[in-house]
Amino acid sequence: MTTFDLEAAKKHLLYTGIVISPVKVVKALGTYLTDSDGRRILDFTSGQRSSLLGHSHPEIVDAVKKQIETVDHLHSTMIAEPVVDLVLRLARLLPPPLEKTLLLNTGSESVEAAIKLAKAYTGKFEVIALTASYHGQTSSASSATFSKYRNTGLPCMPGQLVLPAPYAYGSPFQKNGVYDWEAEFNYGWSLIDRQTVGSLAAFVIEPILSGGGILELPKGYLTRLSVECKKRGIVLIVDEAQTGIGRTGKMFAFQEEEGFVPDILLLSKTLGCGVPLAALVTSAEIEKGTRRSVFYWNTTHQNDPLTAAVGSKTLEIVERDGLCQNSAERGAQLTQGLLRLQEKYGDWIGDTRGRGLLQGLELNSVPGAKITAKDLGAAVVDKALAGGLSCSVVPSPAQGSVIRLVPPITVSAQEIDEAIRILDESLGAVLVQ
């Protein structure tokens, strides 16, 4: 196998707050990575939660080859056939009134554009997000991110307000021993109504808060949220960077709540299947409203034909091959595997949660133990990587650890079993030290 000098490269890579993995990946195919020693690693992070169909899916490879040989890039005022194909597919798959699409590059850019659009539409500036939210690293997106990376000492966009994230496992809002999310929700809105200066523009939310600890919204939450937003004239933005395009067992996670439709839907990571593609989809009413105000967006790779071709092919494959159903079935298998681990490791695993192929294990700190939940998560993920499984760890709202598992939606039953086996061995190895 080929090798490369990773240590030499580190001298020239700018530090951004993340630790570079020691693994030297030389090939990625399907659900597996191959390192420079020829070792195969199950990729249960789907790259950066983006390789929805696994790595180098043959039809995605063909779509890229074909498009780069025909029309690779155009001025953003010119629209090529792949862009037409993608926006028509989205219009067919999404419920009305979601029919107006802007094609962009990244999740952060889509959030930035959506917040700017909401401000233009309402003429207001305040933005609400959840306490465990993660929406990106650009200005407005990072200002609406509360799960981590906030303590930078730098100013955020003005008008940032926050609502408690629903956290069934650790919330203080309990009624007869049962999580009372509606009491928490109502309390949160009472705080919003006290904080606002009367300029509420947007609420941005994820159906499952991935970077905030795999927090799934309670049933009925989005519908209640829509009612409260409409009362106050707030544009409701649903950010499906990680949950969209079949990840949770539905084509779009918001469809789990019957009758609910967001004002703006954002797609990114999964839509591009590993290439930089995002989409903002909204209604004709909001577009019409922004035409009367000052909304301008024109970026270099807006409506790019190359990435649009990948997005259109991704949607085609997911729909044609019944991959939403595969997500649901393999997700149920993953849930059962995680529940077995929870039963086996007792007090160390406090909760298993998530939906489809976006799930996590919340780890506990056990009194008297030599290792904390935070350190345990990091150690288990390192041990799993050494054993052939790539997964990640994110903070829980209780500031512990959640091991996050996000395999491609093409994952097989055998690969799910293998991942659970490696995770089991990793937990056991760390806990007996």
* CATH code of the domain covering residue 51: 3.90.1150.10
Residues 295 and 270 in one domain: yes
Residue 258 lies in a domain: yes
Q: Is 230 helix (H, G, I), strand (E, B) or coil?
A: helix
Strands in 254-295 per DSSP E: 264-267, 278-282
Residues 217 and 308 in one domain: yes
Q: Record the tokens describing residue 184, joined without a space.
A: 């928490």
Task: Provide the number of structural domains found in the chain.
Answer: 2
Residue 1 lies in a domain: no
Residues 342 and 309 in one domain: no
Residue 91 lies in a domain: yes
Give, for all 433 residues of the chain, the pLDDT tens digit: 456 788 888 889 898 888 888 899 999 999 999 999 999 999 999 999 999 999 999 999 999 999 999 999 999 899 999 999 999 999 999 999 999 999 999 999 999 999 999 999 999 999 999 999 999 998 999 999 888 878 777 888 899 999 999 999 988 999 888 999 999 999 999 999 999 999 999 999 999 999 999 999 999 999 999 999 999 999 999 999 999 999 999 999 999 999 999 999 999 999 999 999 999 999 999 998 888 787 889 999 999 999 999 999 999 999 999 999 999 999 999 999 999 999 999 899 999 999 999 999 999 998 888 899 999 999 999 999 999 999 999 988 887 899 999 999 999 999 999 999 999 999 999 987 6
Phi/psi at 341 (5° precision): -65, -40
If residue 224 lies in a helix (H) or strand (E), which one and from where to where? helix 221-232
Helix, strand, coil in percent for the chain, rounding step 5: 40, 20, 40
User: Which pLDDT does position 82 carry in this prediction?
Assistant: 97
User: Which pLDDT does position 20 carry in this prediction?
Assistant: 87
Residue 154 lies in a domain: yes
User: Other C-beta atoms within 10 Å of 382: how many?
Assistant: 15
User: To 10 degrees, the CA torsion angle through 193, 239, 113, 80?
Assistant: -160
Residues 305 and 425 in one domain: no
Q: Is 201 helix (H, G, I), strand (E, B) or coil?
A: strand
Q: Are 135 and 106 in contact (CB under 8 A)?
A: no
Nearest alpha carbon to residue 344 among 420, 417, 424, 432: 424
Place of tokens 């997964």: 391
How far apart are alpha carbons 433 and 427 in whole angstroms? 10
From first CA to last CA, the distance across the chain in angstroms is 34
How far apart are alpha carbons 429 and 336 in whole angstroms? 21
* CATH code of the domain covering residue 179: 3.40.640.10
Number of H helices, E strands in the chain: 14, 19
Residues 171 and 305 in one domain: yes
How far apart are alpha carbons 256 and 254 in whole angstroms? 5
How far apart are alpha carbons 116 and 100 in whole angstroms? 16
Residues 281 and 177 in one domain: yes
Residue type present at position 158: P
User: Which pLDDT does position 1 carry in this prediction?
Assistant: 46
With vertex at residue 357, the alpha carbon angle to CA 354 and CA 362, rounded to the nearest 5 degrees, is 35
Its domain, for residue 10, covers: 6-56+322-431
Residues 310 and 327 in one domain: no
| Final residue of a structural domain among 289, 320, 351 | 320
Residues 234 and 352 in one domain: no
Residues 181 and 228 in one domain: yes
Q: Record the tokens describing residue 306, joined without a space.
A: 């190359």
User: Which pLDDT does position 11 carry in this prediction?
Assistant: 87
Residues 207 and 345 in one domain: no
Cα 205 → chain centroid:
11
| Final residue of a structural domain among 274, 300, 320 | 320
